[in-house]
Amino acid sequence: MGQAIAEASYPAVFNLVDAAWLPVRRRSGAIQRIAPWQVNDHIEDDPITAFAWPRPDFNGAAHELLIGLLATAAAPADDDDWEAWWREPPAPSLLKRRFAAVARAFDLDGQGPRFLQDTDVLDGAEMKEIAALLIDAPGKNTLSNNADLFVKRGGSPGMCRAAAAMALYTLNAYAPTGGVGHRTSLRGGGPLTTLVVACHGAYGDTLWGRVWPNVESREQIGGSCAEPDARDDLESVFPWLLPTRVSNGGLPTTPSDVHPLQVYWGMPRRIRLLFKDVERRLCGLTAMEDDVLVTHYRTRNYGTNYSEGFEHPLTPYYRQRTKITKLPVHPKPEGICYRHWPGIVVRSRDRLREPARVVRRLPEKTALRGRSPRFAAFGFDMDNMKARSWVESEAPLWLLEDGTARELFESYVNQATAAAHTVTRLLVRAVKSAWYDRPSEASGDYGFISERFYRETEREFYRVLDNAERTIAKMADQDDPTIPVRERWSTIMADAALRLFDEYAPPDALENRNMRRYVKARFFLKLAVTGRGKSGRSLYERDLGIVSPDTGRARKAKRLEVQ
C-alpha cells in the first residue's frame, strides 16, 4: 500500500481533556458522551454509572485512563483529602480546572506532541489499517494464511477520533508482543487489572465509586518512587512529550528513569495516527458521528522497553521463590473465581503473591467501611501474540480494619481455597478411576470437572466467608475462631464433590458397567473428602487446619488407654 494519506486540515485539535468523547451510561439508562472532567455530572439526580464502549477492553482501559488522569492532575494530598472527595465528590468545574494543568499532553492530533504518539512523524515506516490497533485483530500470519475464522479482517475500516484514542490507549496499556522490537506494555502482555469498587452512601453505585477508590494520594505516589528526587515535570510523566527512548540498542527504561506516574501512561509502541477529513461519517466501531476519521497509522519497532521493577498500583504481583523482582499477574484461560483469591484479594500463604496496592490499602480507607466494597478484575488472556479471550469478574470484598483480624481472615481464605484445590484434584482422579482401568494413562483435559466444582461452590464460598468475617470480628482474641467455619466448608465441598461424581460417572453409563471399579472410586473419594485415610488427613490437617476423624479417634483411644 502506498504511503499517501490525505491528512486532516489544521489548526483544529481534538483534545482528550476538553472534548466530550467518552461514552457513558447514566442510571436512567441514557447514553451520552462526556469529557473526563464531567465524571460527576448530575451525580445527585442521574449519576453516571458505567462506561458504554462497545468493547469490554475499552471499558476496562477507560477506567485506568480516568484513574491515571485523576492521580496525575487531581491526586489528594493524603488520606484525609481522599476521604473529603469521597464524602463529597468534586464538582465538574473543579475537575476541569485541575485537568487543565495537563491538557497540553492530551492533544490527539495537531502539529505539536500527540497523545501516546511518537514525536517523529515516522515517514517511510510501515503503514497499517486502523483495525490493527485492536489487540484481538488478526495478525500478519493469520491474514496471509487466510485463517481469520472468528475475528475477521477489516472489522473497522475507519474509526472516529474517540475510538482511535481509546484503541491507542488500550494497546499501550495491555500490549502483547508484536514481533521483533514491538515492545510489550509496562506490565507485560495482557496484565490483570484489579479495581476496588464502592457504593456511595448518598449516590449509590456511580462511576466515581469505580475510579476514586483506586486513586492514590500524593504521599503514596511519592512513596512508590524509586528516586526521592524524581522529576515532577510533565515530560517525565508523559513519554510522548519527548523523543522516544528507542531501544534498538538494548536501552531499557527503569523506574528510576521516569516519574512513578508513568505507570499509567507507558508508551511501548511507536505509532503515528493518520487523520482524514470526511463529511460526518459514522465510526466503523462505535457508530459515533465524526467529521474526521482515522483509517491508517504508521508504526516502527523498538519503542520504549520497560524493564522489570515497575509496580502498577492496579495490578497484583508475584515473585519466584529464588528471586526478589516482582512480576505482574496475568489472567488465565479458565477466568477468575474464588480459587484465585490468594494473591489477588489476600496475600498467598507463602507470601510470594500479593494483591494490587489499591486492594492492599483498602483497610486504610475508613470512609468505605460499611459500604460493601467489591473488586473488579479484568484483562486479556494472551497466548504470546494471540488474544484467546477477555476475562472479567466482580466479587465482594471484606474490609477488616484490625491487623489481627485481617491476618486471621487471610489465613482462612488461604486454607479454604487450598482445600478446594485438593478436593478438585481428588474428584478428577475419582472420575477417571471410575471411567478407566488405567486412569493415570488417560489423556485429555479434565479441567471442565474442576471448573464445574468451583462454579457449584462459589455462592456457598461467599456465604461461608461472610460467616468467617463475622466470627473473626467477634472473637479475634481467640486462638482459632474459624474452626467451626472451616468444618462447615469441608462439608459443603464433600457434598459437592460426591454430587458431581455421581453426575459424571453414573453406573449405567460406565464402560462394560464395571461396578467394582465404580464402587471403589466412589468409596475412596468419600473417604478422602470426609477427612479419612491418608489423602483425607492431608486435606483436613494440612489444608484446612482442622482435626480429621481418623486423628480424632486415635487421640480418643490414646486418652482411654491412659485412663
Q: Supply the pTM of this predicted model.
A: 0.91
Query: Is pLDDT larger for residue 450 or for residue 369?
Result: 450
Which residue matches cell numbers 497484583? 316
Average pLDDT for residues 162-187, to the nearest whole number?
Answer: 93
Q: How far apart are CA 540 and CA 258, in angstroms?
A: 49
CA angle 263, 269, 275 (to 5 degrees): 115
Handedness of CA 87, 93, 97, 99 (dihedral sign): positive
Half-sphere CA count of 367, side-chain side, radius 13 A = 20
pLDDT band at 516 (very low <50, low <70, confident <90, very high): confident
CA distance 228 to 504: 60
Element (H, E) at 386: strand 386-396
β-partners of residue 393 are 377
Question: For residue 471, is it within any domain?
Answer: yes
Q: What is the rounded CA–CA span in Å between residue 510 and residue 504?
A: 10
CB 192 within 8 A of CB 376: no
Helix axes 483-504, 403-435, angle to 10 degrees: 20
Q: Do residues 184 and 15 lie in contact, with contact meaning Cβ atoms separated by under 8 Å? A: no
pLDDT at 224 over 70: no
pLDDT of 427-454, one tens digit each? 999 999 988 878 777 888 888 999 999 9
pLDDT score at 145: 44
Q: What is the DSSP letter of 545?
A: -
Strands 386-396 and 353-354: unpaired
**What's the first-to-final CA gap in the chain, in angstroms?**
93
In a domain, 434, yes or no: yes
C-alpha cell at 518: 465404580
The string of pLDDT tens digits covering residues 129-169 is 999 999 998 655 544 544 444 454 455 679 999 999 999 99
Residue 347, classed as helix, strand or coil, is coil
State yes or no: pLDDT of 99 exceeds 90. yes
> What is the model's pLDDT at position 138?
66
Give the pLDDT of residue 551. 75
Sign of the dihedral through C-alpha 306, 311, 178, 282 = negative
- Residue 437 neighbours by CB under 8 Å, 6+ apart: 514, 517
Q: Is 415 part of a structural domain of the chain? A: yes
Please check whether residue 410 lies inside any domain of the structure: yes
Between 103 and 444, the more confident residue is 103
382 within a domain of the structure (yes/no): no
**521, part of any domain:** yes
Q: What is the pLDDT of residue 558?
A: 56
Position 406 in a domain: yes
For the chain, give the mean pLDDT. 88
Domain coverage including residue 526:
402-563
> Nine-digit cell at 352?
510470594
| Cα distances (Å, whole numbers) of residue 559 to 166, 174, 411, 532, 554 | 70, 61, 31, 20, 9
CATH of the domain at 424: 1.10.132
Amino acid type, 14: F
Residue 454's CB is within 10 A of a number of other CB atoms, namely 20
| Omega before residue 260 within 30° of 0, cis | no
For residue 211, give the nearest of 390, 426, 22, 399 by alpha carbon. 22
What is the mean predicted confidence (pLDDT) over 520-547?
A: 94
| Residue with the three cell numbers 475475528 | 151
Q: Are 191 and 327 in contact (CB under 8 A)?
A: no
The count of structural domains within the chain is 1
C-alpha distance from residue 180 to each of 106, 168, 184, 494 (Å): 29, 20, 11, 51
Q: Which residues contact 20 (CB under 8 A, 6 or more apart)?
A: 32, 33, 34, 35, 38
Burial class (CB in 10 A: 0-12, 13-18, 19+), 218: middle
Q: How confident is the model at residue 225 (pLDDT cuts 50, 70, 90)?
A: very low
pLDDT digits (tens, 9 = 90+) for 269-308: 999 999 998 888 899 999 999 999 999 999 999 999 999 9
Pairing of strands 48-51, 22-26: antiparallel
Q: For position 506, what pLDDT does the model report?
A: 85
Task: For 27-79, write each residue's pLDDT tens digit.
Answer: 999 999 999 999 999 999 999 999 999 999 999 999 999 999 999 999 999 99
State how far the Cα of 545 lies from the Cα of 560, in Å rounded to an integer: 25
Beta strands across the sheet bearing 374-383? 193-197, 374-383, 386-396
Q: pLDDT by residue (tens digit) across 114-138? A: 999 999 999 989 999 999 999 998 6
The answer to the question of residue 157 being in a domain is no
Give me the pLDDT at residue 512, please. 64
